[in-house]
């Protein structure tokens, strides 16, 4: 191996503490979360010391198609023979082809695309577009939601992420996710948009009631406010449908996608918006710029990703395997009903809700100890986010069942640790 193993785990941690984020590395050390990613292939990653983990974290969906998916690698290598990042000043054949493909996969008038590099940047654009188009100020967002740490996306997050950086952009109002009356109380004629994760990941996959988005849609239409759905985690087949909002029979005005669009190989994100919103961008064509947004190498990989995840057989596979994983988890939940409160979410977008805030981190660490990478949700620490790669197959289920079972029994034996771990989280 040329690139893997140039440092040991210890050396990596030490350099991290010296030149990167000391707080993060020290915290990981303190709780024994000592993984440094080495080899990676399909559903597996290996730490530099050879320990193997089933990746049920997937970097929030980046590895939907597994690590180093052979088809995507082939695509990227072929693209590298001809392309580079491209020049964002110029019209690009490759950006156009991907945009057309994306437009075909979205319902209604969602046929315009703006590319970015990261999710936060793509959310920032969605907010800018909503304000620019509507000429209104208010942005309504949800408690416990997460949309990134860039200039506007950060304001639509919880205090933990934004308080130290005040003053922030004004006009943002927080409501409870899934509670329509809360939204009703604050929406008005000056509301530019409501920005929500379709199912909020950082809040532990708290799944809104079926009628929620229909009501939101009606209220938005009444006040001329736009519905922005952040599908950075829920999009691209993660929930068993191509887009998470399809579970709710609603069509948003703006959708943000990212993570898995990259195929885990080349960063690219996109904001997809309603055709008539282009009126604003048409008048201000050079106001939103991103040098690397929609890099041509990224668009070629993303094209392939989109082809794969939108195929009927792939979606069928996700639904079959998720059905099996749900029943496996529900059986374990009933065996460990002193630890697990419920499993929630949709498709392979799963939250394992434990009985207390300390049990989430304890279960995460126990899973890691048992060869499964899964982490607790930062805005509801009682939940472990469980995101197996969408390419998980039947042959992996026995491993998952066996290891989750061991992890839960480890939690049961070490329950007294829950308070200690919770106190250690910065
Ligand atoms: C739902 C959601 N929105 C936005 C973001 C921000 O994306 P990025 O880290 O690429 O800026 C994330 C990242 O975790 C996310 O999960």
- The model's pLDDT over 340-368, given as tens digits with 9 standing for 90+, comes to 999 999 999 999 999 999 999 999 999 99
pLDDT of residue 1: 84
**Which residues, at least 6 apart from 413, have a Cβ–Cβ distance to it below 8 Å?**
none
- The model's pLDDT over 191-246, given as tens digits with 9 standing for 90+, comes to 999 999 999 999 999 999 999 999 999 999 999 999 999 999 999 999 999 999 99
pLDDT of residue 308: 98
> Is the per-residue pLDDT at 421 higher than 90?
no
- The model's pLDDT over 91-147, given as tens digits with 9 standing for 90+, comes to 999 999 999 999 999 999 999 999 999 999 999 999 999 999 999 999 999 999 999
| Cβ–Cβ under 8 Å, residues 324 and 398 | no
**Which residues, at least 6 apart from 260, have a Cβ–Cβ distance to it below 8 Å?**
61, 62, 63, 64, 65, 235, 236, 238, 305, 309
**C-beta of 199 in contact with ligand 1 (< 6 A):** no
In this structure, the residue with its CA closest to atom 7 of ligand 1 is: 119
Pull the structure tokens for residue 401. Answer: 């069942």
Q: What sign for the dihedral angle of Cα 369, 372, 373, 379? A: negative
Whether domain 70-309 has CATH 3.30.70.640: the reply is no
- The model's pLDDT over 299-326, given as tens digits with 9 standing for 90+, comes to 999 999 999 999 999 999 999 999 999 9
Tell me the best of 148, 261, 349 to mutate to test the pocket of ligand 1, counting ligand atoms within 8 Å of each CB and taking the most. 148
Q: Compute the distance between CA of residue 269 and CA of residue 85 in angstroms, rounded to an integer.
A: 14
Measured in degrees and rounded to the nearest 5, phi and psi for residue 256 equal: -110, 130
The residue written with tokens 């126990």 in the block is 366
Q: Compute the distance between CA of residue 207 and CA of residue 248 in angstroms, rounded to an integer.
A: 11
> Is the per-residue pLDDT at 337 higher than 90?
yes
In this structure, the residue with its CA closest to atom 16 of ligand 1 is: 233
> Is the per-residue pLDDT at 173 higher than 90?
yes
The residue written with tokens 């929609």 in the block is 294
- The model's pLDDT over 51-97, given as tens digits with 9 standing for 90+, comes to 999 999 999 999 999 999 999 999 999 999 999 999 999 999 999 99
CA of 146 to the centre of ligand 1 (A): 7
Pull the structure tokens for residue 243. Answer: 């887009």
The domain segmentation of the chain, as residue ranges, is 70-309, 312-387+407-417
Pull the structure tokens for residue 262. Answer: 């990259």
- The model's pLDDT over 8-19, given as tens digits with 9 standing for 90+, comes to 999 999 999 999
- Segments of 56-186 assigned E as strands: 110-116, 138-142, 172-175
Q: Band of the pLDDT at 426, cuts 50, 70, 90?
A: confident
Compute the mean pLDDT over every residue in the chain, rounded to the nearest whole number: 97
| Cβ–Cβ under 8 Å, residues 183 and 219 | yes
**C-beta of 262 in contact with ligand 1 (< 6 A):** no
Q: Which CATH number fits domain 312-387+407-417: 1.20.58.1610, 3.90.1150.10, 3.40.50.720, 3.20.20.370?
A: 3.90.1150.10
The residue written with tokens 């188009």 in the block is 133
Q: What angle do CA 312, 315, 320 make, to 5 degrees?
A: 120
Pull the structure tokens for residue 89. Answer: 């000043």
DSSP category for residue 223: H
């Amino acid at each position: 191996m040329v690139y893997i193993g140039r440092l040991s785990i210890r050396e990596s941690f030490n350099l991290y503490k010296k030149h990167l984020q000391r707080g993060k590395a020290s915290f990981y050390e303190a709780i024994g979360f000592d993984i440094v990613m080495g080899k990676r292939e399909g559903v597996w990653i290996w730490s530099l010391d050879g320990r193997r983990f089933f990746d049920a974290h997937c970097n929030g969906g980046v590895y939907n198609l597994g690590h180093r998916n052979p088809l995507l690698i082939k695509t990227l290598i072929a693209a590298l023979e001809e392309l580079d990042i491209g020049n964002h000043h110029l019209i690009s054949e490759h950006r156009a082809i991907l945009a057309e493909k994306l437009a075909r996969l979205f319902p209604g008038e969602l046929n315009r695309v703006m590319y970015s590099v990261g999710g936060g940047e793509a959310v920032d654009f969605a907010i800018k577009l909503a304000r620019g188009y509507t000429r209104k100020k208010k942005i309504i967002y949800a408690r416990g939601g997460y949309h990134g740490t860039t200039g506007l996306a950060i304001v639509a997050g919880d205090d933990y992420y934004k308080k130290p950086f005040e003053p922030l952009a004004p006009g943002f109002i927080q409501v409870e996710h899934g509670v329509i009356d809360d939204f009703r109380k604050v929406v008005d004629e000056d509301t530019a948009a409501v920005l929500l994760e379709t199912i909020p990941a950082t809040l532990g996959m708290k799944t809104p009631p079926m009628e929620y988005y229909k009501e939101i849609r009606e209220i938005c239409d009444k006040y001329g406010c736009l519905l922005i759905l952040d599908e950075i985690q829920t999009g691209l087949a993660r929930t068993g449908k191509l887009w998470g909002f399809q579970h709710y029979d609603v069509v948003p005005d703006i959708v943000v996608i990212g993570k898995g669009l990259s195929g885990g190989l080349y960063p690219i994100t996109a904001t997809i918006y309603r055709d008539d919103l282009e009126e604003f961008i048409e008048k201000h064509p050079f106001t939103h710029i991103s040098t690397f947004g929609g890099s041509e190498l990224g668009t070629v990989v993303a094209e392939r990703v989109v082809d794969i995840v939108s195929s009927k057989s792939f979606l069928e596979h996700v639904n079959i395997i998720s059905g099996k994983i749900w029943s496996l988890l529900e059986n374990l939940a009933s065996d460990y009903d002193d630890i697990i409160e419920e499993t929630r979410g949709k498709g392979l977008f799963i939250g394992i809700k434990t009985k207390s805030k300390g049990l989430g981190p304890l279960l995460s660490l126990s899973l890691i100890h048992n060869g499964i990478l899964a982490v607790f949700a930062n805005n509801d620490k009682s939940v472990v986010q469980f995101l197996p790669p969408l390419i998980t197959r039947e042959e992996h289920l026995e491993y998952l069942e066996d290891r989750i079972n061991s992890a839960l029994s480890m939690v049961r034996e070490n329950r007294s640790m829950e308070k200690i771990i919770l106190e250690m989280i910065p």
